[in-house]
Structure formats: structure tokens, C-alpha cells
Amino acid sequence: MKVFIALFALATIVLAAPQGADKDAQIVKSELENIGVDGYNWLYETSNGISANEQGQLNNAGSENEAISVRGTYSYTGADGVKYTVNYVADENGFQPEGAHIPK
């Protein structure tokens, strides 16, 4: 289940990337570590400056309140030439993104 969530998150970010001139971007770094019962960790960087990383862990394992807690960040350069970075937490309280360009 956790592997599916991690791969889904990765696929979502990759598919959200611009498809114009960036379609020929290459993956320059990719790591998938610590996939297990207690958590996971992945990251990637592309030749066009897109990067992302995420760490997840299982909280309250085996209890009624069992939940996955995820922390991560991703960044990209927008069409306006500005580099955007989003830091996020996703847990039992939902997806909570933060970034200079995101309204509070």
C-alpha cells in the first residue's frame, strides 16, 4: 500500500510537469530507499530543474488510529522564470502545502 502511495505521488508530480520544451528532460538523480513496513523515502531531480523528495512513516501501527504521515518538498521553474518550491505535510489532517506563492 505504501509503495503504491509513493509511486502515485511520484507519477502525479511527473505528469503535472510542463510538456512543451521540458518533454526531453532527463532524470539526473533518483533514489528510492527504506521502503518497508515502517516508512519510505524517495527523491528525484531532472535536467530541467524539477526536483522532489518525500519521506513517509506509519504512525500508531496496529492501533485504531493507524495513519501514514508524509513530509516532502518539490520545486520547479514556472513559465515566468521563477523557481517555485512547495513544502508539504500530508497526514490525518489532510494535505498541508506551504510556499511563498501559496496564499495563506
Using an 8 Å Cβ cutoff, are 43 and 30 in contact?
A: yes
pLDDT higher than threshold 80 for residue 92? yes
pLDDT value at residue 9: 56
Using an 8 Å Cβ cutoff, are 42 and 54 in contact?
A: yes
Which pLDDT band holds residue 60 (cuts at 50, 70, 90)? Answer: confident
pLDDT value at residue 89: 96
Measure the CA–CA gap between 11 and 27, rounded to whole angstroms.
Answer: 13
pLDDT value at residue 41: 93
| C-alpha cell at position 74 | 518539490
- 3-state DSSP assignment of residue 80: coil
| C-alpha cell at position 53 | 523528495
